[in-house]
Amino acid sequence: MNQVRQSFNRAASSYDAVGTLQHQVATSLTALIKTKLSANFDGRLLDAGCGTGYCLAQLVPIYPAAEFIAVDFAERMLDQLPVDLKALGINANLENLPVCTGKIDAYLSSLAWQWCDPALAAKEATRILKPQGDLFVSTLLSGTFQELAHGLQACGLNPDQHLLRCTSSAQIQSALAAADIEILSLASTQMTTWHENFKALRHSIRGVGANHLPNHTTPVLTRQTLTQLVEAYEGLRTSRGLPLSYEVLTIHARKR
């Protein structure tokens, strides 16, 4: 966990320049929120794993009467919040929030839950939400980075040792059900980013801080294995470049 946090700390200053896919996902999630929360929403909204505040920067101007809380366990991400953002920054783990029970009207999290135990994240979200409070989450599912997984397998390596192990939609749904949160809508989409070369593709992962795995140290690839991996990956090249796929799950749910 600490290594993951440090990795996000190191990426904080490059995050917005590299995180095009992350911004697209955040924009879709905030678009959903804008259709579900009325224009005169004056409650408390918490962004769990807020990063540089990309979601909140879109929501704060829309809801002038609301109160916003920005939570991230990487303190340097919080340093990147826009200076004029009307939000309280809290440096904390979203699995264990320093927030009183039943005080939050709306909970959002964009691309942070895949770094956590979804059961703990869901349980903590429901603890802080008021009854009938809304939950909006985007997270990654298994199938994310499938091209890298195949490439690693082709080199005789175990993808689980090198790539973030994401959960299935069914696991997220059962985590929400166990936390007594009713799912109102759920959609999964495959999004693909395209890269000029393998170095640029790797940079799209490292530049947003997503290069350390929870629970174990990522083995270093030898020069020989890296060359093999690059060669295997070149087989996937199209006129758009080298693909990297993300399976994105978007959920709107409500605490019972």
Residues forming the site for ligand SAM (CB under 6 A): 8, 19, 22, 26, 49-51, 54-55, 72-74, 77, 93-95, 110-112, 115-116, 208
> Measured from the CB atom, is 22 or 126 closer to ligand SAM?
22
CB of 231 to ligand SAM, least distance (A): 29
> Measured from the CB atom, is 14 or 225 closer to ligand SAM?
14
CB of 95 to ligand SAM, least distance (A): 5
> Measured from the CB atom, is 50 or 66 closer to ligand SAM?
50
Residues 6+ apart with CB under 8 A from 193: 20, 21, 201, 204, 243, 244, 246
CB of 55 to ligand SAM, least distance (A): 6
Residue 28, burial from CB neighbour count under 10 angstroms (0-12, 13-18, 19+):
middle
Q: In what order do the strands lie in the sheet with 129-140?
A: 88-91, 67-72, 44-48, 104-110, 129-140, 242-255, 181-195
CB of 17 to ligand SAM, least distance (A): 12
> Measured from the CB atom, is 91 or 174 closer to ligand SAM?
91
CB of 66 to ligand SAM, least distance (A): 18
C-alpha span between 31 and 171 (Å, rounded): 25
Residues 6+ apart with CB under 8 A from 84: none
Residue nearest to ligand SAM (CB): 51
> Measured from the CB atom, is 125 or 149 closer to ligand SAM?
125
CA 63 remoteness from chain centre: 23
CA 87 remoteness from chain centre: 20
Residue 150, burial from CB neighbour count under 10 angstroms (0-12, 13-18, 19+):
middle
> Measured from the CB atom, is 139 or 228 closer to ligand SAM?
139
CB of 81 to ligand SAM, least distance (A): 11
